[in-house]
Amino acid sequence: MFAYIVRRLLYAIPILIGVNLLTFTLFFVVNSPDDMAASQLGDKYVTPEAIENWKQKNGYDKPLFLNPDVAGLARLTDTIFFDKSVRLFAFDFGRSESGRDITTDVASRMWPSLAVALPTFLVGIGVNICVALMVVMFHGTRLDRGAVFLFVALMSISYLFYIIGGQFLVAKTWRLVPISGFHAEGQVWKFLILPVLVGVVAGIGAGARWYRTLFLEEANQDYVRTARAKGCSELTILFRHILPNALIPILTGVVVLIPSLFMGSLLIESFFGIPGLGSYMLDAINSQDFAIVRSMVFIGSILYILGLLLTDISYTWADPRVRLS
Amino acid sequence: MNAPKQQQTAGSICMRVSDLTVVLAESGEPIVKGVSFELRAGHIFALVGESGSGKSVTSLAAMRLLPDALKISAGSVDVEGADLFALSEARMQEIRGRKVAMIFQNAMSALNPVQTVGNQVAETLKLHTPLRGAALRNRVIQLFTEVGIPDPDQRFGFFPHQLSGGQQQRVMIAMALACEPDVLIADEPTTALDVTIQLQVLNLIRELTRTRQLAVLLITHDMGVVRNTADEVAVMYRGELIERASVDQFFHDPQQAYSRKLIDALPDLEHFRAAAAEEPLLVLKDVKVHFPIRKGLLQRTVDYTRAVDGVSLAIGRGETFALVGESGSGKSTLGRAILNLEEIAGGEILFRGEPIQGIGRSAMLPYRKQIQVIFQNPFSSMNPRMTVGDIIAEGMISLGLALTEDARNARIHELLARVQLGAEHARRYPHEFSGGQLQRIAIARALAVDPELIICDEPTSALDVSIRAEVLELLAELQREFGVSYLFITHDLSIVPTLAHKVGVMQLGKLMEQGTAEQILTAPQHPYTQALLAAVPRLED
Amino acid sequence: MKPVVLWSDALIYLLVIALAFFFYRLRKDPQTRERWAEVFSSRLGMVAFTVIAAYIMVALLDSLHFRRALENPEGVAVEEVFYDNKVTSVFDLLTGGMGERFERTYSAPFALISFEKENLKDAAGKDIRDYPPLRHAGQHLADPSQRGADVLGKTFTALFWGLLLSALLIGPQWLLLRRSRYPWHASWLTQGSIICSGVWMVSLSRYYHILGTDLGGTDVLYQSLKGIRTGVLLGTLATLIMLPIAVTLGVMAGYFKGWVDDVVQYLYTTLSSIPGILLIAASVLLFQVYIDLNPDFFAVGMEKADAKFIALCFILGVTSWSTLCRLIRAETLKISQLGYVQAAHAFGVSHTRILARHVLPNVVHIILITFVLEFSALVLAEAVLSYIGVGVDPSMGSWGNMINGARSELSREPAVWWTLTGAFFFMFALVLAANLFSDLVRDAFDPRTSLRRVEA
């Protein structure tokens, strides 16, 4: 088990290097720092001097991979690649193009993101499982078919409409909670209810439908017939036999998302004005702040790899048949 | 529960199935047509038939466990004077497991994979008895002991996958017997097991029938199992009971032609094939196939699974060599190694005196014409998206035979006719054929390139008994006609006498014993061969 | 008139031809036919398919572009013909100039007056603040109070023509297919209602703005209709770009195993570990920078928008192949263990031939299921991307752009609901039809589900 985890962590290194190379290529080779300067400065102010100034200010005035002007190891370290990419491995994200320290920003914005994403995630799974179980109990009836159609219809509505509709109904028409905003002190929950609610409702269609399929898949297994032959009631079969088995794919399917909860949700956060990492990314995209985008790509990759590892570990915990080696 | 239960008197009727009819819910097409029989205490009633004959549906209907697509349209099942079909679902749940219990074919999938076996048996007891806590556990352990599970106290906390196939089936039996039911329905309880284990499980069921005065409904397709275990037999064919008799009477004087056919499929251990020519075609010298076991941080190869561990044998021209062994013995791996589909760790493979092990893809091509293969599962060995004609033509094209299209088509028609199929079948797709027909097409495909050796990897084990005989007969005919040699890989010793000149018995990658079919089947030397042979059903005990 | 062929126009027609060819080839395979028959033997499948087909038809008509010849100014006779800088499509013609009737700003559906007050002069020439009348709505009415009756009357006329047109179009189908075992009547009913509502929309839009106008005064119904092409094209082209990458890599990894497998696995793990939205956003922004710095490449504004659109399809395709690749790799691994591939090896069939004849045809169902599933996902993604600001060009009509422009309209007093409603309805109908259809396709083609049905 321990050896397995260590091996998986070692395997993460080439992947992170790959991610880094890819983003570096995207940001510095496809578009040279000159191009970036030109577009940041705007058409009117593009002069060679202005570009040089901008590059110097933002630390893009070095060669990409190899610096022939200096000696020794500095040939490799005194380059854009080292400054902008290799340093990420030490979690040194540097400064954004507007001059703010990215590490501090990330550390402080992580928590509001989590405050929205975690309840959404947990409540969502709970609600989806309950809804799916109810539907499965009526399997084969009209209710079941109607519910499946409803799930598909819910899935077909854009996430944006859930947010806009939720804000319009709950906050504007019924005036139950504030439309948006976030205050760390006092009544945080007031600001969290609506985003969480919207997140959960938006996920019901796809989630409940998926869980329903998983439950039905298990319901077709031989051991369910055995349980029936023993004299178990249908409810006992559903809760004591089908549910524990279906939890394995459910668990392993959602565990991969847990670390990424820190990243928050782009849409929810921007609509509800929550100062988390999601809105941070959106702002960075809108202001074309590539330093932030690059850092967030790196963090996102790490969290995803962590999620994969957690998935494997959760397998051994949920399924007695699986042993990691 | 510990109070002695009122014993059923031997021979009293415990379950009476009358005029049972099951139809497809949608189309109303009948699957089981008016079947009647009764189960008596202390008796084993065997229901025999091939796949699709409706025997499993009959048993599921008796328990009211039919899938949604099937419906009981008429008949009754009486247990202690009550008609099971008239009961409410809640009452029925009290009957299941309590009065009538059931065991299934594949114990591995029939047990809940995430619950310990002890808890699964305990669940039945909890449902029907007031036993709880330590008493409950003790009772489960007692049951485990009764069905012969070693170390029952420790095994209580095991998950199904930690037990062997035989032990899993024993757990199923313990679960079924937990509440001391009157009736036990066993649906192919030994089909998924190796022959030696099969015998142990059947003996257990027979013993429990006597000691507990159980009424057993044994569903099987295997006439050997019937012969060795049952008291009474009923043959089911296309949803109907066509013959019913006591075992002795049935085997000595079957009334129906179909029954006759089933009995004829039993091995004849008296007549053997004389050894063929001694000129060796294929010689294996100390062949080894190893699969690496990787461990640790860097996934270094620390050891090998020795799938084939030094096998030497020789197959003569026009001769059949039967390679017998249980699952996991390495016999199929050996077959694949000869075909150069598996890398060899050591030894030599000589075909007509020339070494062919480890040669490249293109160097192997000339030998591909001479060594062909027929696989176990006819349904997966044909590409579902190609016509039968294309399937047979594939080898001819890639190996450069019959270059013109006309010549190729003529050859395909000739081959199809040889395996008793029509020329019009060439344009059809595999899913339109039955298993037996597909296996004949597989034979035609192998013959298309005029091979000298065909490796038959369990070609009949996916087929029903009556069809099995036809395919084996076809293979024997082709051998007489074309002088082709067979390496016949099988787990079933009983088909060997009609088929093989020589026999090799494989266990754990090693060839335990080899010799002529007569030697091996009449005077086996190795204890493993003896055990295998003991499990073979015979007509005359 | 001078035809204009945009890159996306060419690609979508190419795609249609390729698909037609693909199905023509498949027609021989009985299993595939059986499964399609299963999809189409359900009424729901027929309806969903008809709706999707209608959307695709609109998208195709909207992909036939041309530039109008400008009339020579009065009295000037020149040999040379000048063309309008604006690119029009055949679909624009069919809508009867719905997109050319602009108002000053917002107006509600079927309204006769603007939504906002303006400084006007009354009959006496005094300055007053009131709702000005619309330029293109209710001009034919003598009195605003006749509006209800007028709308009703025109609806009946439109319905009459609609039914007549439906009869003309459905009649021949009925003659050909009436004995078919498929529930064509469900499709005909859907076709009829689509045709009728189409005729109704076009004929009423001459007199009213059926769905009102937006902030810039553009007809909302027209915008919603223009969103169809964007949605359909994005949904198909992006998948089309992703397919060859995913299939090639997946099949190679599953068949050759060893180091090929390691490399492919590494590639897709790396790619999928990057948060998708960031990768897409970054790529789109970088392309944007490229366009901004090289403005001379594109003759008309539309071509620039089109280049951006193709780039978006490309980016979505290149960043999303990992899921399909994983599925195909797993399936190929399974297939290479099967008897028929083993038998092919035993016959010395070459790798290329095994891949082409045995492996590829047997993973087609996965490709198909993914294609249909991805379609609706991409249509939904377009809205989100446009909202974030990395979607299609604002000059190109799309539902995402409509939502993005109208995101705060509901919080106005009174709320402006029609833009969002228009985008919602047209998008929902397409995505719902696609989702329902993909469910049926998956049920029919996924061996796991079809197996279950056989056993039951």
Count chain A–chain B contacts defined by CB atoms under 8 A.
81
Beta strands B82-83 and B100-103: pairing type? unpaired
Residue of C nearest to A303 (CA): C273
Query: Which residue's entry shows tokens 């037609």?
Result: C20
A250-257 contacts: CB < 8 A, separation 24 or more?
Answer: A250/A125, A250/A129, A250/A211, A250/A214, A251/A314, A251/A318, A252/A311, A252/A314, A252/A315, A252/A318, A253/A210, A254/A121, A254/A125, A255/A307, A255/A310, A255/A311, A255/A314, A256/A304, A256/A307, A256/A308, A256/A310, A256/A311, A257/A121, A257/A307
Cβ of C148: how many Cβ atoms within 10 Å? 9
Are A321 and B101 an interchain contact pair (Cβ–Cβ within 8 Å)? no
3-state helix, strand, coil in chain B (%, to 5): 40, 25, 35
pLDDT tens-digit profile, chain C (456 residues): 788 888 888 888 988 898 888 878 777 777 778 888 888 888 999 999 999 999 999 999 999 888 888 776 666 666 777 777 778 888 888 888 787 888 888 888 888 888 888 887 777 778 888 888 888 887 788 787 888 888 898 899 999 999 999 999 988 888 888 888 888 889 999 999 999 999 999 888 888 888 888 888 888 899 999 999 999 999 999 988 899 999 999 999 999 988 999 999 999 999 988 888 888 888 888 888 777 777 777 666 777 888 889 889 999 998 889 989 999 999 999 999 888 999 999 888 899 999 999 999 889 888 888 888 889 999 999 989 988 888 888 888 889 889 888 877 877 777 888 889 999 999 999 999 999 999 898 888 876 654 444 333
Q: What share of chain B has pLDDT > 90, as a percent?
A: 32
Instruction: Tell me what pLDDT residue B4 has.
Output: 40
Q: Which helix (H) or strand (E) holds A74?
A: helix A74-77
User: Does B88 contact chain A (CB < 8 Å)?
Assistant: no
Instruction: Tell me what pLDDT residue C448 has.
Output: 62
Pick from B114, B123, B297: which is nearest to A230 by CB? B123
User: Does C94 contact chain A (CB < 8 Å)?
Assistant: no
CB < 8 Å to B63, chain A: 229
Tokens encoding B90:
């809640």
Are C29 and B372 an interchain contact pair (Cβ–Cβ within 8 Å)? no
Instruction: Tell me what pLDDT residue A212 has.
Output: 92
Are C278 and A296 an interchain contact pair (Cβ–Cβ within 8 Å)? yes
d(CA C376, CA A156): 8
Helices (H) and strands (E) in chain C, counts: 17, 5
Are C348 and B385 an interchain contact pair (Cβ–Cβ within 8 Å)? no
pLDDT band at B6 (very low <50, low <70, confident <90, very high): very low
d(CA B320, CA B314): 10
Judge whether C167 and C141 are in contact, CB under 8 Å: no
Are C340 and B382 an interchain contact pair (Cβ–Cβ within 8 Å)? yes
Identify the residue among C273, C290, C441 best suited for mutation to test binding to A, counting A beta carbons within 10 A and taking the highest: C273
d(CA C260, CA A31): 31
Pick from B336, B372, B385: which is nearest to C362 by CB? B385
Residue of A nearest to C375 (CA): A156
Cβ of A186: how many Cβ atoms within 10 Å? 8
d(CA B389, CA B412): 7
Are B445 and C343 an interchain contact pair (Cβ–Cβ within 8 Å)? yes
Judge whether B72 and B61 are in contact, CB under 8 Å: yes
Instruction: Tell me what pLDDT residue C454 has.
Output: 39
Instruction: Tell me what pLDDT residue A229 has.
Output: 92
CB < 8 Å to C368, chain B: none
Identify the residue among C274, C416, C451 best suited for mutation to test binding to A, counting A beta carbons within 10 A and taking the highest: C274
Query: Which residue's entry shows tokens 């190795």?
Result: B526
Residue of C nearest to A15 (CA): C270
Chains that touch C (3 or more CB pairs under 8 A): A, B
Kindly provide the ipTM of the predicted complex, given to two decimals: 0.87
pLDDT band at B276 (very low <50, low <70, confident <90, very high): low
For B103, the 3-state DSSP assignment is strand
> Quick check: bond before C414 cis, omega within 30?
yes
Q: Please, what are the domains in chain A?
A: 2-90 (no CATH), 106-318 (1.10.3720.10)
* pLDDT tens profile B461-499: 878 777 888 888 889 888 888 889 999 998 888 788 878
Judge whether B488 and B458 are in contact, CB under 8 Å: no
For residue A183, count CB atoms less than 10 angstroms from its CB and return exposed for 0-12, middle for 13-18, buried for 19 or more.
Answer: exposed
Instruction: Tell me what pLDDT residue B8 has.
Output: 53
Q: Collect the ranges in chain A with pLDDT lower than 50.
A: none
CB < 8 Å to B395, chain C: 347-349
Residue of A nearest to C268 (CA): A15
Are A19 and C270 an interchain contact pair (Cβ–Cβ within 8 Å)? yes
Q: Check whether B3 has a pLDDT greater than 60.
A: no
CB < 8 Å to B368, chain C: 346-348
Q: Is the dihedral of CA B434, B436, B437, B443 positive or negative?
A: positive
Identify the residue among A88, A156, A265 best suited for mutation to test binding to C, counting C beta carbons within 10 A and taking the highest: A156
Judge whether B238 and B53 are in contact, CB under 8 Å: yes
Tell me the β-bridge partners of B287.
B311
Closest by CA position to C325, among listed C245, C397, C413, C426: C245
Closest by CA position to B166, among listed B194, B145, B144: B194
Are C275 and A263 an interchain contact pair (Cβ–Cβ within 8 Å)? yes
Min distance C338 CA to chain B CA atoms (Å): 6
Q: Please, what are the domains in chain C?
A: 98-205 (no CATH), 219-455 (1.10.3720.10)
CB < 8 Å to B106, chain A: 222
Q: Which amino acid is at A172?
A: K
Instruction: Tell me what pLDDT residue C252 has.
Output: 94
Closest by CA position to B310, among listed B334, B333, B288: B288
User: Does B159 contact chain A (CB < 8 Å)?
Assistant: yes
* pLDDT tens profile B54-90: 888 999 999 999 888 888 999 999 988 889 999 999 9
